[in-house]
């Protein structure tokens, strides 16, 4: 990104902050506070208006925050609520399973971890919070793919010799039938994981809760047992965020 583009982004953010503080403002007032020409302020406002982040009120020429900001705030709040409501359940799961537990949401074609509780074992994996992970190579991602929260990628990249690179090989129908998904060294060599779906108030899958650990400890034989525990945990989290189906 060029310096001018970064400067434009900074100015657009400043406009949103001014409108949040003042409630409404005219182009000339915004230009003066930003220290830019009126035409520059107008151009930035036009871009924000196209995105629904600002709008003109009944008094034309005065801008205020638009409903697009509410939409973005709602998305952020829902993630914070999910992480908060899932925390107690994840703590209990991490203790019971003995492995690191994560909550992931679908975002831009990937599974993004928004919460993590480390397991009690000395070797309990690294911090996954905020990381985008490929859906087809993670247990959370497979859950989100199986229940339609994420679209199937056009290309399934290989990360390890055991990464599944064909849609048929992902076993998404089986995931839907049994209610949980697993990966065995498909993202990282030596790392296994299991995940179950979290449902929102309308019954749709909005996230996944997973347990991951070294393959010598979270063995193939343990996956069904851990899967059932995660299904129960996911059901409790779902109820906490408004799903009672």
- Work out the end-to-end distance of the chain between its first and last CA atoms, rounded to an integer number of angstroms: 46
| Together in a domain, 104 and 196 | yes
Give the model confidence (pLDDT) of 31-68 as tens digits.
998 999 999 988 999 889 888 888 887 666 788 888 77
| Together in a domain, 38 and 141 | no
Tell me which of 65, 90, 119 is where a domain ends.
65
Tell me which of 41, 65, 89 is where a domain ends.
65
Give the model confidence (pLDDT) of 114-152 as tens digits.
889 988 765 555 677 888 899 999 999 999 999 999 999
Q: How far is CA 238 from CA 31, 81, 109, 141, in A?
A: 47, 12, 22, 18
Tell me the three state secondary structure of residue 211. strand
Question: Within a domain: residue 70?
Answer: no
| Together in a domain, 61 and 106 | no
Whether the predicted pLDDT of 214 surpasses 60: yes
| Together in a domain, 154 and 224 | yes
Question: Within a domain: residue 183?
Answer: yes
Whether the predicted pLDDT of 2 surpasses 80: no
- Is the distance from CB of 124 to CB of 100 less than 8 angstroms? yes
| Together in a domain, 135 and 41 | no
| Together in a domain, 88 and 195 | yes
Give the CATH number, domain containing residue 41.
1.10.10.10
Give the CATH number, domain containing residue 157.
3.30.450.40
Supply the range of the domain harboring residue 20: 3-65
| 41: enclosing H helix or E strand | helix 38-50
- Is the distance from CB of 12 to CB of 44 less than 8 angstroms? yes
The total number of structural domains that make up the chain: 2
Backbone angles phi, psi at 71, to 5 degrees: -60, -45
| Together in a domain, 211 and 146 | yes
Mean pLDDT of the chain: 88
Q: How far is CA 237 from CA 90, 228, 230, 231, 232, in A?
A: 9, 14, 10, 10, 9
Question: Within a domain: residue 8?
Answer: yes
| Apex 80 CA angle, 103 and 137, nearest 5 | 25
Whether the predicted pLDDT of 240 surpasses 90: no
| Together in a domain, 142 and 57 | no
Instruction: Provide the whole-model pTM.
Output: 0.69
Distance CA 6, CA 8 (A): 5
Tell me what pLDDT residue 76 has: 56
Q: What would you report as the CA-atom Rg of the chain, rounded to the nearest whole angstrom?
A: 22
| Together in a domain, 53 and 82 | no
Whether the predicted pLDDT of 4 surpasses 80: no
- Residue with the two structure tokens 């929102």: 200
Distance CA 64, CA 48 (A): 11
| Together in a domain, 56 and 159 | no
| Together in a domain, 172 and 234 | yes
| Together in a domain, 15 and 103 | no
């Amino acid at each position: 990104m060029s310096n001018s583009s970064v400067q434009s982004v900074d100015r657009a953010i400043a406009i949103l902050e001014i409108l949040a503080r003042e409630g409404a403002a005219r182009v000339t007032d915004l230009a003066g506070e930003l220290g830019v020409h009126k035409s520059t302020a107008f151009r930035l406002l036009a871009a924000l208006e196209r995105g629904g982040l600002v709008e003109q009120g009944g008094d034309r020429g005065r801008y205020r925050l638009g409903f697009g900001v509410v939409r973005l705030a709602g998305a952020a709040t829902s993630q914070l609520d999910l992480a908060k409501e899932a925390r107690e359940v994840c703590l209990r799961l991490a203790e019971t399973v003995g492995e690191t537990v994560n909550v992931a949401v679908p975002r831009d074609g990937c599974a993004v971890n928004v919460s993590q509780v480390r397991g009690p074992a000395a070797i309990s994996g690294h911090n996954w919070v905020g990381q985008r992970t490929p859906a087809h190579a993670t247990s959370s991602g497979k859950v989100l793919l199986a229940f339609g929260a994420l679209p199937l990628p056009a290309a399934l990249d290989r990360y390890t010799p055991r990464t599944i690179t064909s849609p048929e090989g992902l076993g998404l129908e089986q995931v839907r039938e049994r209610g949980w998904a697993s990966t065995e060294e498909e993202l990282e060599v030596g790392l296994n994981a299991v995940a179950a779906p979290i449902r929102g108030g309308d019954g749709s899958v909005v996230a996944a809760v997973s347990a991951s650990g070294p393959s010598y400890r979270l063995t193939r034989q343990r996956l069904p047992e851990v899967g059932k525990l995660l299904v129960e945990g996911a059901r409790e989290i779902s109820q906490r965020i408004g799903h009672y189906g």
